[in-house]
């Protein structure tokens, strides 16, 4: 019985520990970010850019959602990392735009399609994301297809879309007016969220409680 009590205590403690907004990630906010490079060596190629984040092993693939700010390979800065599904967008760069949460979800939905889409579509996907936050960003026919698809998903309410897998990486000075300073990124890199969800741990814990009760009654 003592073993059951100890195990249940550990699981309940884990639920509390993993209930933080950045559950599953090893970074702390603000995180130190280093920009490693562009896809194919040119920013115009769009997704994926690569960055390094302090506390995360290996490079992280990101999509730039910020058409007007700069940032160059080799540059480092501090950033807040926000989980789109659990934290809100108070630290995000475009949080003051009208219906900003929907805009971020449209961008996040496009990014979530990249693992099941040919890399040949990535540039159009990224330009669609750039256009979501900046109407001056170019919008070729292929990019318009992705923009329309994201807006159609928004109209449906994004049914079943796992926004917990989307992270927003925003420079600490989120409203920085210097357009040569770092841009904002989105990522779905699994290294930022590999720990079991608190709900999963809670179900496991309650299941063990049930087994414990059954043991007492038998």
136, pLDDT greater than 70: yes
User: Looking at the structure, do residues 66 and 150 belong to the same domain, yes or no?
Assistant: yes
Q: Pull the structure tokens for residue 162.
A: 């796992």
User: Looking at the structure, do residues 104 and 161 belong to the same domain, yes or no?
Assistant: yes
User: Looking at the structure, do residues 64 and 161 belong to the same domain, yes or no?
Assistant: yes
Per-residue pLDDT, 4? 40
Confidence band (pLDDT; 50, 70, 90) for 183?
Answer: very high
Q: Pull the structure tokens for residue 154.
A: 């928004």
**In the predicted model, what is the mean pLDDT of the chain?**
83
User: Looking at the structure, do residues 10 and 44 belong to the same domain, yes or no?
Assistant: no
User: Looking at the structure, do residues 42 and 102 belong to the same domain, yes or no?
Assistant: yes
DSSP-derived secondary structure letter, 196: P
179, pLDDT greater than 80: yes
pLDDT in tens, 54-90: 999 999 999 999 999 988 899 999 999 999 999 999 9
Dihedral pair phi/psi, residue 61, rounded to 5°: -85, 135
Confidence band (pLDDT; 50, 70, 90) for 147?
Answer: very high
How far apart (Å, rounded) are the C-alpha atoms in residues 192 and 79? 14
DSSP-derived secondary structure letter, 70: B
* Residues with Cβ within 8 Å of residue 48, at least 6 apart in sequence: 39, 61, 62, 63, 114, 122
Closest C-alpha among 155, 150, 39, 49 to residue 104: 150
User: Looking at the structure, do residues 5 and 84 belong to the same domain, yes or no?
Assistant: no
Other C-beta atoms closer than 10 Å to the C-beta of 129 total 31
User: Looking at the structure, do residues 167 and 216 belong to the same domain, yes or no?
Assistant: no
User: Looking at the structure, do residues 45 and 113 belong to the same domain, yes or no?
Assistant: yes
Find the range with the poorest average confidence among 135-139, 160-164, 178-182: 178-182
130-139: list long-range contacts, CB under 8 Å, 24+ apart: 130/64, 130/65, 130/66, 130/67, 131/67, 132/65, 132/103, 132/106, 132/107, 133/65, 133/66, 133/67, 133/94, 133/97, 133/103, 133/107, 134/66, 134/67, 134/68, 136/67, 137/67
42, pLDDT greater than 70: yes
As a whole number, mean pLDDT of residues 40-51 equals 94
Model pTM? 0.78
User: Looking at the structure, do residues 55 and 10 belong to the same domain, yes or no?
Assistant: no
CA distances from 76 to 23, 33, 37, 182 (A): 24, 6, 12, 9
Per-residue pLDDT, 27? 79
Domain containing 121: what range? 25-195
As a whole number, mean pLDDT of residues 160-182 equals 95
């Amino acid at each position: 019985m003592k073993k059951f009590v100890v195990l249940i205590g550990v699981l309940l403690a884990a639920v509390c520990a993993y209930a933080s907004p950045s559950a599953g990630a090893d970074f702390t906010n603000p995180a130190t970010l280093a920009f490693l490079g562009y896809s194919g060596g040119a920013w115009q190629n769009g997704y994926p850019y690569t960055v390094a984040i302090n506390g995360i092993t290996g490079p992280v693939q990101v999509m730039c959602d910020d058409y007007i700010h700069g940032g160059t390979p080799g540059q480092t800065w501090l950033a807040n990392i926000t989980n789109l599904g659990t934290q809100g967008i108070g630290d995000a760069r475009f949080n003051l735009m009208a219906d900003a949460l929907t805009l971020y979800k449209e961008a996040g939905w496009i990014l979530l399609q990249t693992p099941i889409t040919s890399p040949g579509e990535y540039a159009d996907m990224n330009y669609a994301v750039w256009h979501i936050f900046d109407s001056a960003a170019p919008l070729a026919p292929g990019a318009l297809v992705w923009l329309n698809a994201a807006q159609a998903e928004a109209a449906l309410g994004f049914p079943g879309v796992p926004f917990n897998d989307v992270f927003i990486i925003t420079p600490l000075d989120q409203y920085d007016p210097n357009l040569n300073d770092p841009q904002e990124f989105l990522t779905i890199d699994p290294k930022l969220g590999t720990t079991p969800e608190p709900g999963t741990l809670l179900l496991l814990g309650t299941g063990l409680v049930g087994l414990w009760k059954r043991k007492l009654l038998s």
